[in-house]
Chain A
Amino acid sequence: MITGLISINTNLGSSIALRYANELSNKIDMRLYDIHVVDAKKSGSSPGFGWVQKTWENALIESKSEEIRQFLDMEKVELPFLKTPKILIGDRTEKLLDELQTGQYAFFLEGALPSFNPNDFYRLVHSRLYRLMPCPVMIVKNLVPADNAALLLDQDSDHRDFIAQFVKIFNNARVKVDLIDLKFSKTKDLVIGETESRDLHMKNADDALKQSNVTSGAQKTIEGAPDKIAECLREYGLIISFLKHKSKKNNPMIELLGRVPSPVLIFWR
Chain B
Amino acid sequence: MRILVALDKNPYSDYVVRLVAELAGNTWAHVTLLGVETHVSPGELLDSQSAKTAGENAVAAVLDTYREAFLGFFGETDSPYGRHTSGYKLIQEKKGVVNLVYPEQHERKNLTVKCRAGNASREILAEAEQIEADLIVIGCDPGTDCKWEGHADICGKIVKNANCSVFVVKEEKKPRMIDCCLDHDTVSQASIELINQLVTLYHADLEIIGVADAKGLKSEVDRRMASILDYYVSRNIKAWVKVVDGLSLNSIIAQAAEKNLVAMWMGKESFLDKIFSKQRLGKLVTSAESSVLILR
Interface residues in chain A, defined as those with a beta carbon under 8 Å from any beta carbon in chain B? 11-12, 15-16, 113-117, 141-144, 261
Of B22-30, B73-81, B238-246, which stretch is located at the interface?
A: B238-246
CB distance from B210 to the nearest CB of A (A): 7
Q: List 22 A-B contacts (CB under 8 A).
A: A11-B222, A11-B226, A12-B223, A12-B229, A12-B241, A15-B226, A113-B217, A113-B241, A114-B242, A115-B243, A115-B244, A116-B245, A116-B248, A116-B252, A116-B255, A117-B245, A142-B240, A142-B241, A143-B229, A143-B233, A143-B241, A144-B238
Of the candidates A16, A114, A144, the one whose C-beta lies within 8 Å of that of B243 is A114
Contact between chains at A12 and B240 (CB < 8 Å): no
How far apart are B255's CB and chain A's nearest CB, in angstroms?
8
B245 near A115: Cβ-Cβ < 8 Å:
yes
Which residues on B are within 8 Å of A, measured CB to CB? 210, 217, 219, 222-223, 225-226, 229, 233, 238, 240-245, 248, 252, 255
CB-CB < 8 A to B242: which residues of A?
113-116, 261
CB-based contact A261/B210 at 8 Å: no
Q: Is the CB of A12 within 8 A of B226?
A: yes
A89 to B36, CA, bound (A): 66
Residue of A nearest to B217 (CB): A113
Residues in A neighbouring B241, C-beta threshold 8 A: 12, 16, 113-114, 141-143
CA distance A188 to B145 in the complex (A): 31
> In the complex, which residues of chain B have a beta carbon less than 8 angstroms from the beta carbon of A16?
229, 241
Q: Which B residues are in CB contact (< 8 Å) with A261?
A: 240, 242
Q: Report how far A12 CA is from B223 CA in the complex, Å.
A: 7
Determine which residue in A115, A142, A144 has the highest number of CB atoms from chain B within 10 A of its CB, and name it. A115
Q: Report A-chain residues with C-beta under 8 Å of the C-beta of B222.
A: 11-12
Q: Which residues of B contact A114 (CB under 8 A)?
A: 241-243
With a cutoff of 8 Å between Cβ atoms, the chain A residues found around residue B217 in the complex are 113
Minimal beta-carbon separation of A76 from chain B (angstroms): 11
